[in-house]
Structure 1
Amino acid sequence: MHHPEENPWQITSEATIYDNPWINLTEYQVINPSGNPGIYGKVHFKNRAIGVIPLDEDMNTYLVGQYRFVIDQYSWEIPEGGGPLNEDPLEAAKRELLEETGLIAKNWTKILDMHLSNSVSDELSITYVATGLEQFEAEPEDTEQLMVHKVPFDEVYRMVCAGEIMDSVTVAAVLKVKLMLLENTLPV
């Protein structure tokens, strides 16, 4: 598919509005593609979003439940977290899986790269399927109060389709794995 290579946006000035160890918010004064002046805000993430769908030999997976501050509600998700931009995403995935579930996997398959909200942020998500699981002790961060449940993958798929799971990384990853299972392209 053909698309223009040149950026139609012109930046006339920029200012950092907020900065912390995890995000940076910049406001841009711009000339938009129609030639009119305007503003644009960008949230820069200092980590990648990393997700893991662990699958055991019986096609069970693991959901992690936690109260999410930003949305002020409880959320069931695949094991996920942040990986520094200068860290190998697979190493971040291995760390997150161990931290949140206590699982170590022998086999890893990258299944999905996606931008999570490309209209306001540059956050990139990378998701893996992990198999050949061995159980150890979970090592959650001190900011995490987690519940972990082993659930049949088909039940997690049903939960996604019913809107009971709304986390975008989880929804996209579960749908991708279901498609790969239907197409017999998932190495398990």
Structure 2
Amino acid sequence: MQHPTENPWTTLSEKNIYDNPWINVTEYQVLNPSGNPGIYGKVHFKNVAIGVIPLDAELNTYLVGQYRYVLNQYCWEIPEGGGPEGTDPLESAKRELLEETGLKATEWTELLQMHLSNSVSDELSIIYLARGLEQHEAEPEDTEELLVNKVPFEDVYQMVCRGEITDSVTVGAVLKLKLLLLENQL
């Protein structure tokens, strides 16, 4: 499929609106593709979103439950977190898996990369499949109050299909893994 490679937007100016250790917000004065003036806000994430779907030999996976402040609700999701820009994302994935579940894996496969909200942010997510699991002691951060549940993968897939799991990193990981299992590619 062919698509244009040139940017149809013209940036007239940019202004830093907000900055903290995790995000930066910039407002741009622009000319849109039709040539009309406008504004565009961009949220830049200073970390890569990392997700890990651990899968044992019996096709069980591990979900992490935690209260998500921004959503004001409790959520179940795969182990995930942030990897600082410039850091090997696989090393960040290994750290997150150990921190949140106490698991270490001997086999790692990158499942997919995806942008999480490309209309307002540049946040990139890299999701890994972890196999050859060994249980160790979890090392959660002090900001995390987590529950970890070992769940048959098929049950997690059904939770996604019923809309009980809505975290985009988890949904993407589960659907990609289900497809690979259906196509006997694992």
Aligned to 2:98: 98
Task: List per-residue Cα deviations over 1:21-77 (Å, max 9, x = no partner).
Answer: 000000000000000000000000000000000001100000000000111100000
Where do 1:168-183 residues align within 5 Å?
Answer: 168-183=168-183
Could you tell me the TM-score, scaled by structure 2's length?
Answer: 0.99
Aligned to 2:9: 9
> Where does the alignment leave 5 or more consecutive residues of structure 2 unmatched?
none
Which segments of structure 1 move beyond 2 Å, counting only runs of 4 or more?
none
Instruction: State the percentage of identical aligned residues.
Output: 77
Aligned to 1:30: 30
Could you tell me the TM-score, scaled by structure 1's length?
Answer: 0.98
* 1:136 and 2:136 are equivalent in the alignment: yes
Where do 1:79-158 residues align within 5 Å?
Answer: 79-158=79-158
Aligned to 1:55: 55
* 1:77 and 2:72 are equivalent in the alignment: no
Distance 1:5 1:50 in 2: 28
Distance 1:90 1:3 in 2: 32
Amino acid at match of 1:38: G
| SS at 1:26 equivalent | strand
Aligned length: 186
Distance 2:36 2:185 in 1: 48
Distance 1:71 1:38 in 2: 30
Report the CA distance between 1:85 and its aligned residue.
1.0
Report the CA distance between 1:5 and its aligned residue.
1.2
Amino acid at match of 1:171: V
Task: List per-residue Cα deviations over 1:71-100 (Å, max 9, x = no partner).
Answer: 110000000000011100000000000000
Amino acid at match of 1:146: L
Amino acid at match of 1:113: Q
